Amino acid sequence: MSTKSPGTSTGAMRWLDADEERAWRAFRRIMVAVQTGTAHDLAAIGLSEADYEVLSTLSERPGHTSSLGEQAMKMGWSRSRLSRHATRMEARGLLRRAPDAADGRGCLLVLTDDGLATLHTAAPAHLTSVRRHFIDRLTPGDLTAIERIAQHLESD
């Protein structure tokens, strides 16, 4: 996203200025670096980022249960995409599906004992990874600034 696109009229297009472009590119580099590092570390213990997200979310819910729709919304996924992923997790014994009385078309995702045990085994390695690739590289002020920025971006 350069500040000016060759051969394109600027008209109503508001291009990024140099500072904005540097900030955008820095943000993208941060996202890629942190996500690549933590994904690699989770893969080393046999989980994907999505697996960990589903397991950790279910572990925090009452009855270790969430509707497929709520989980899909939390992850920013479509219901069908999460349903396919849940099928793979179910085949591995990490979760099971149950009918959702509140949504006849949906289902509930329920964390199994094996899923909870997998999460308990993976959590220390994931925490170490998050610290190595993110937390320990930043100052307390950096962390506060990121939290503040997140609040601005989540307000939409």
Give per-residue pLDDT as tens, 111-154.
Answer: 999 999 999 999 999 999 999 999 999 999 999 999 999 999 98
pLDDT tier at 2 (50, 70, 90 boundaries)? Answer: low
Residue 121 is predicted with a pLDDT of 96
Residue 53 is predicted with a pLDDT of 96
What average pLDDT does the chain have? 92
Token pair 């937390």 in the structure block, residue: 135
Residue 97 is predicted with a pLDDT of 96
Q: Indicate if the pLDDT at residue 4 is higher than 90.
A: no
DSSP category for residue 47: -
Side-chain half-sphere CA neighbours of 46 within 13 A: 8
Cβ(59)–Cβ(109) below 8 Å:
no
Q: Which of 99, 131, 112 is nearest to 55 (CA)?
A: 112
Residue 120 is predicted with a pLDDT of 97
Q: List Cβ neighbours of 54 (8 Å cut-off, separation of 6 or more).
A: 71, 75, 82, 85, 86, 89, 94, 95, 109
DSSP category for residue 8: -
Express each pLDDT in 69-87 by its tens digit.
Answer: 999 999 999 999 999 999 9
φ, ψ for residue 102, nearest 5 deg? -80, -15
Q: Indicate if the pLDDT at residue 55 is higher than 70.
A: yes
Q: Indicate if the pLDDT at residue 155 is higher than 60.
A: yes
Residue 8 is predicted with a pLDDT of 54
Token pair 């609040």 in the structure block, residue: 151
Q: pTM to 2 decimals?
A: 0.83
